[in-house]
A and B are shown apart, each in its own frame.
Chain A
Amino acid sequence: MVKPLIAKQISKAFGSEQVLTNLHLELPEHETVSILGRSGCGKSTLLKILAGLEPPDAGVVELDGEAIHSSESRRRDIVYLYQEALLFPHLNLFENIAFGLRLQKEDEKAITRRTNEMIEKLELDGMQHKMPHQLSGGQQQRVSFGRALITNPRVLLLDEPFGNLDADTRSTMQQFFKRIAAEVAITAIFVTHNVKEAILMGDRIAQLKGGSLTMFDSIEAFVRSGESSVQEEIDFWSSISDDNNPSSN
């Protein structure tokens, strides 16, 4: 199977604190890998190293077989999305989505066509002229996705993108992301500290713990591993269910 993004022997320390130790990661083509880990375990640091925003102390990052760990972030074709939508406040919705195409100096007709197609895909028709402060949290995140996807990046890195949203909007956005990911065959890493979200969003799951990454072959393998609290949760809800239906015993 083709592995577009491979990170080998990645190490990173901040002062005396070792955050990542000889970490190895392989990202399969057109799949989303959920990376699960506690706050402060180095998830964001790993994504920033892959995006070229943070230099590793040691290790190699390869994209389609080519070493990119010393390339500038703008030449990597990897887009990093933050927890916050970070829309440009002086640009309207259309211009925010078209931003990457303008950087690439696409011609005006292509920009208009592709941006309108993306707006339609994001279900934001009729909002082209709205400014970011006029959009809801969920709409802002959609624009943020659209702005990243319109440039067709090789890899998309999502750093807890739904962390700031309320439960309902979060759930809607998770479904939305799954649909878009399937439509455009995204190759992505989705970082979260929420087990349920990791299972929902990822085609496979990895866990970052003690500076090392463990990749599970399947979601079932992750649930069985005992590393997650999923089995405990299943047992908990089963016991509640059993208590409420004693006749079932």
Chain B
Amino acid sequence: MTSTSSHLTYIARVLAVSFLFPVAFLLLLSVSAGWVFPEVIPDGLTMERWVRLATGNNELFGSLLLSLGIAFSVATISTFGGFFTSKHLAYHPGRSLWMRLSYFPFVLSPIIYAALLYFYFISAGLTGNLFGVILGQLLIAFPYSVILFSGFWSVRMQNMEQLVQTLGGSKWQAYRRVLLPMARGLILVCFFQTFLISWFEYGLTTLIGVGKVQTLTLKVFQYINEANFYNAALSSSLLVLPPIILLYFNKKYLFKKRW
């Protein structure tokens, strides 16, 4: 028993190190004054790039804010939109058809789906601007949210909502006092997942943003293509940190057992 436990602890530590090493490496590279092959360690360390970022004197700072704005918008709209939409779909007589349609963007591949809709984005004047990119990402994140919440709505949940009504509660009170608290864990999971979908989105953002909406993910690829390793490491560190912070603060809800 103890031997199995110590083995599992050892494997967990190895896995943790293997996950953390790339993050640590990127952070180190982002503060390196110079690090040229075949040197094993950097020539020196400098906080110059991070200071420039913190003072806002850097185009990367703009991309960071833009990415945060897009990801928060997409996550918020798709999570709450998906929560209410999935409820209506769950109790709709044509439920199975609507649910099959929700899988459409994923079966087709998001980038091909966006390419097919590109004509409409051009016609509506939504290419190359922020709203177009948010709408494009919602085409992926929103159905994902609907699919995720579809399991929450059941006959039991419908009965609970009706029970609140016969006890004298309004529909809003049923949401506020029963449905939303019961779905809290799932809402956080959905927000986190849709935030990540938007945060790491590349193909669709490139296509609809036509290079004018420079999110952090696009910046990483730009720096890699330019062989600008230090800025690529800095932007990659920025790309990795928000999800880790979100994961840390929400771990209680993301990993706990729910009813």
User: Interface of A with B (CB < 8 Å)?
Assistant: 51-53, 72-74, 76-80, 82, 84, 86, 88-90, 99-100, 102-104, 133, 147-148, 151
In-complex Cβ contact of A80 among B156, B166, B173, B178 (8 A): B166
User: Do residues B168 and A74 form an inter-chain contact, with CB atoms below 8 A?
Assistant: yes
> Residues of B contacting A74 with CB < 8 Å?
165-170
Report the nearest B residue to A78, measured CB to CB: B166
Question: Is B159's beta carbon under 8 Å from chain A?
Answer: yes
Report the nearest B residue to A144, measured CB to CB: B163
> Residues of A contacting B163 with CB < 8 Å?
80, 82, 86
Interface residues of B in 226-259 (CB under 8 A from A): 259
Complex: A84 Cα to B157 Cα, angstroms: 12
User: Do residues A103 and B160 form an inter-chain contact, with CB atoms below 8 A?
Assistant: no
User: Do residues A80 and B182 form an inter-chain contact, with CB atoms below 8 A?
Assistant: no
User: Do residues B165 and A72 form an inter-chain contact, with CB atoms below 8 A?
Assistant: yes
> Residues of B contacting A86 with CB < 8 Å?
156, 159-160, 163
Report the nearest B residue to A87, measured CB to CB: B160
> Residues of B contacting A82 with CB < 8 Å?
159, 163
User: Do residues B159 and A103 form an inter-chain contact, with CB atoms below 8 A?
Assistant: no
Q: A84-B156, A89-B259 are in contact. Are A103 and B162 (CB under 8 A)?
A: no
> Residues of B contacting A80 with CB < 8 Å?
162-163, 166
Nearest Cβ on chain B to A157's Cβ, whole angstroms = 8
Nearest Cβ on chain A to B94's Cβ, whole angstroms = 16
Q: A90-B182, A102-B177 are in contact. Are A73 and B159 (CB under 8 A)?
A: no
> Residues of B contacting A133 with CB < 8 Å?
259
Report the nearest B residue to A150, measured CB to CB: B167
User: Do residues A148 and B167 form an inter-chain contact, with CB atoms below 8 A?
Assistant: yes
Complex: A165 Cα to B159 Cα, angstroms: 19
Nearest Cβ on chain B to A45's Cβ, whole angstroms = 14
In-complex Cβ contact of B167 among A53, A90, A100 (8 A): A100
Given contacts A51-B166, A82-B163, A100-B168, 8 further A-B contacts (CB under 8 A): A52-B165, A77-B168, A86-B160, A90-B182, A103-B168, A103-B169, A148-B167, A151-B168
> Residues of B contacting A72 with CB < 8 Å?
165
Complex: A51 Cα to B165 Cα, angstroms: 10
Question: Is B181's beta carbon under 8 Å from chain A?
Answer: yes
26 A/B residue pairs, CB under 8 Å, sorted by A: A51-B166, A53-B166, A73-B162, A73-B165, A74-B166, A74-B170, A77-B168, A78-B166, A79-B167, A80-B163, A80-B166, A82-B159, A86-B156, A86-B160, A86-B163, A88-B160, A88-B177, A88-B182, A90-B259, A99-B164, A99-B167, A103-B164, A103-B173, A103-B177, A104-B168, A151-B167
Complex: A147 Cα to B167 Cα, angstroms: 9
Complex: A104 Cα to B177 Cα, angstroms: 13
Q: What are the nearest 6 A-B pairs in CB distance? A: A89-B259, A100-B167, A73-B165, A103-B169, A80-B166, A90-B181
Q: How many residues of chain B are within 8 Å of chain A by beta carbon? A: 19
User: Do residues B169 and A53 form an inter-chain contact, with CB atoms below 8 A?
Assistant: no
Pick from B166, B167, B177, B181 the residue with the most CB of A within 10 Å. Answer: B166
Nearest Cβ on chain B to A140's Cβ, whole angstroms = 13
Nearest Cβ on chain B to A41's Cβ, whole angstroms = 20
> Residues of B contacting A104 with CB < 8 Å?
168
Nearest Cβ on chain B to A51's Cβ, whole angstroms = 5
Interface residues of B in 139-191 (CB under 8 A from A): 156, 159-160, 162-170, 173, 177-178, 181-182, 184
Nearest Cβ on chain A to B173's Cβ, whole angstroms = 6
Complex: A84 Cα to B160 Cα, angstroms: 10
Pick from B159, B163, B178, B181 the residue with the most CB of A within 10 Å. Answer: B163
Interface flags, B183-219, vs A, CB<8A=1, else 0: 0100000000000000000000000000000000000
> Residues of A contacting B182 with CB < 8 Å?
88-90
> Residues of B contacting A77 with CB < 8 Å?
168
Report the nearest A residue to B259, measured CB to CB: A89
Complex: A174 Cα to B245 Cα, angstroms: 54
Complex: A52 Cα to B164 Cα, angstroms: 13
> Residues of A contacting B178 with CB < 8 Å?
88
> Residues of A contacting B166 with CB < 8 Å?
51-53, 73-74, 76, 78-80
Nearest Cβ on chain A to B152's Cβ, whole angstroms = 13
> Residues of A contacting B159 with CB < 8 Å?
82, 84, 86
Nearest Cβ on chain B to A150's Cβ, whole angstroms = 9
Complex: A90 Cα to B68 Cα, angstroms: 32
